[in-house]
Amino acid sequence: MLNDIVKITIAILILMLLVNSCVIVNNQEFGYVKLVITEYNSGPLVQDATVTLYTQDGKITKISDENGTAIFESLKLNRPYKIEIEKENHARTVIDILSLHTSLNLNTTLRKSKFDNSAKSNMEISFKLFDSELKTSEYKPDKNGVYTINRSLSLYIEAQAKSDNVPITFIYAKIGNPPGAEALASPRLYASGNNLKGTVDTASFSGKTYLFLDCYDENYNRYELVVPLYFVSFINFKISPYYVEGKNPSIYAYNINTQIKYYTLSSKFSNAYVIISWKKWEDSSQTLRTDKPTGYAVYRSYDGKKFIKIAVVGNDTDSFIDSSGENIPGKRIWYAVSSIYGILESPKTILGSVVVLPLFGISDVQPSDNATNVSLTPTFSWRFVGLEDYDVTYWYEICLYDMTVNKKYHYPVNSEGAIIFKSEDRDVKIDFKDYNWYGLTDNKLQANKPYEWAPELVAAEWRDEENNSLSLSIVSDYNGVISPMAVEPEKYYLFVTGGGE
């Protein structure tokens, strides 16, 4: 009887190892590669790009759709693939997959060329992987090109990029996701130039994943090398898993109209991303009855039912930034997090869902641009447009500039300082006489004089308590009131006062 139990236990262990590590037992097993192409990280989607997949049997060409997406299905596993992404007036992106050993969901970029579009580098990356900075042991690939990492807490990487035309400017490395897919979070290695050396934490990884090595040249051409990794982990079936606890709220969505730089590229577009946050094991109510995880897995869903793993982070992390190009305004997104123990994983905790708010605008602005004979105590007014279908609260503040002679600026103040307005009303009216104005003599403007003004904060928030989320649309925020970076107003309105009240 005891021998039967031992045999059954061994069989179960072998089966679990095969399932959790996705060991390929049949060479005809298939996977897919899905690409979501944006002009830069979390920037606008790139439609009508030519995406060519090169296989051992030939090539397949597709055109990215209105969502910037191209999907290649029914790809044989344990084989190399190469992908080229091109579009007129854009630099080129090349992705080399050394061996596809599990399906890939890739957030990738295709940027506009910095100069002559014909200056396209043929780039390559050579690399070595070691157990530590001491280089006691170097990892080598198996016959399928897979690097097996045995119970390692870290990985030391050396990489060098080469180009036959345009000089290399940057090189990056990251495990689990392409570098830049969530550039505002998640640790990655980075080096200016073409040489990279460093250690990455691997304690939270188990089973199959990939190492991504990326380089960029001066013309924004991109080359990415995708290296298959297999992490062997010790299995402890006696763990008491931590069921991840959320925060209130747990999900923040940002849609920012601003100038943000990613990999030295600077363009003015909408930038949408989502921050997912949870309580680390140490901050939870379960520390006395559960075991500390080795990491956390983050999942995303677009229907609240089918969740796809989008990231694995370390156990010292309590947030993740999802900047996928698929997170378009008006689309509801669900997120879940689980705790990881080697190849084992707790049940997922659904933290909530969020809708990324669209960007919006203002209309009927008074005093209008180039207005004349304006009162010395004017009324500033406008209407918010574009978010009529959402239950939002608007944030706004204004500033008035007197730069022609006095080199001063003014804004409404109270005992606490600058007044930041909040209202659910789409129509705004700020009567000059109702407020004290910073730095203004006699609290009124001078006659027959030009001024400029602007609403320097124009933002909206939607607190969706039912779904444990907060969504922010930020059109301008010059003083960084609620935006993570300063966002200048798109327009200043020039007016000239009259000769009397």
* Cα(97)–Cα(210) distance, integer angstroms: 9
Q: Which of 382, 380, 325 is nearest to 356 (CA)?
A: 325
* Cα(66)–Cα(130) distance, integer angstroms: 42
Q: CB atoms < 10 A from the CB of 420, how many?
A: 14
Instruction: Tell whether pTM > 0.85.
Output: no
Alpha-carbon dihedral 208, 188, 306, 352, rounded to 10 degrees? 140
Asked if 478 contacts 487 with a C-beta cutoff of 8 angstroms, the reply is yes
Q: Which of 153, 218, 209 is nearest to 178 (CA)?
A: 209
Q: What is the pLDDT of residue 408?
A: 84
Tokens 């994983």 belong to residue: 345
* Cα(403)–Cα(487) distance, integer angstroms: 21
pLDDT in tens, 129-171: 999 999 999 999 999 999 999 877 789 999 999 998 889 999 9
Respond yes or no on whether the N-terminal peptide bond of residue 450 is cis (omega within 30° of 0).
no
Asked if 98 contacts 228 with a C-beta cutoff of 8 angstroms, the reply is yes
Instruction: Assess whether the region 27-232 and the region 245-355 belong to the same CATH fold.
Output: yes
CATH of domain 245-355: 2.60.40.10
Q: Which of 92, 94, 36 is nearest to 68 (CA)?
A: 36
Per-residue tokens: 308: 């796809």
Give, in degrees to the nearest 5, the angle at Cα 274 between 268 and 276.
155
Per-residue tokens: 209: 């994943």
DSSP state of 182: T
> Which amino acid, one-letter code, is at 426?
R
Judged by phi (left if over 0) then psi (alpha if -120 to 50, else beta), residue 394 lies in: beta
What's the CATH fold of domain 27-232?
Immunoglobulin-like (2.60.40)
Phi, psi of 76 (to 5 degrees): -70, 135
Q: What is the pLDDT of residue 20?
A: 41
DSSP state of 102: S
Q: Which residue ranges make up each domain of the chain? A: 27-232, 245-355, 361-497
Asked if 393 contacts 430 with a C-beta cutoff of 8 angstroms, the reply is no
Residues in the chain with pLDDT values less than 50: 1-2, 5-27, 181-185, 260-269
Q: Which of 402, 406, 397 is nearest to 496 (CA)?
A: 402
Q: What is the pLDDT of residue 415?
A: 86
Give, in degrees to the nearest 5, the angle at Cα 486 between 482 and 488.
115
The DSSP bridge pattern shows strands 195-201 and 154-163 to be antiparallel
Q: Which of 83, 161, 173 is nearest to 126 (CA)?
A: 161
Phi, psi of 432 (to 5 degrees): -50, -40
Element (H, E) at 15: helix 2-21
Q: Which of 287, 24, 46 is nearest to 143 (CA)?
A: 24
DSSP string spanning 440-494? -GGGSPPTT-EEEEEEEEEEEEEEEGGGTEEEEEEEEETT-SSSSS-B--S--EE
Per-residue tokens: 415: 């005992």
Say which residues have a Cβ less than 8 Å from residue 352's Cβ, sequence separation at least 6: 246, 249, 250, 251, 334, 335, 467, 468, 469
The DSSP bridge pattern shows strands 81-86 and 50-55 to be antiparallel
* Cα(341)–Cα(179) distance, integer angstroms: 24
Q: What is the pLDDT of residue 43?
A: 66
Asked if 189 contacts 172 with a C-beta cutoff of 8 angstroms, the reply is yes
Q: Which of 97, 88, 79 is nearest to 34 (CA)?
A: 97
pLDDT in tens, 416-438: 889 999 999 999 999 999 999 99
Q: What is the pLDDT of residue 114?
A: 84
Distance between start and end Cα atoms, the chain: 101
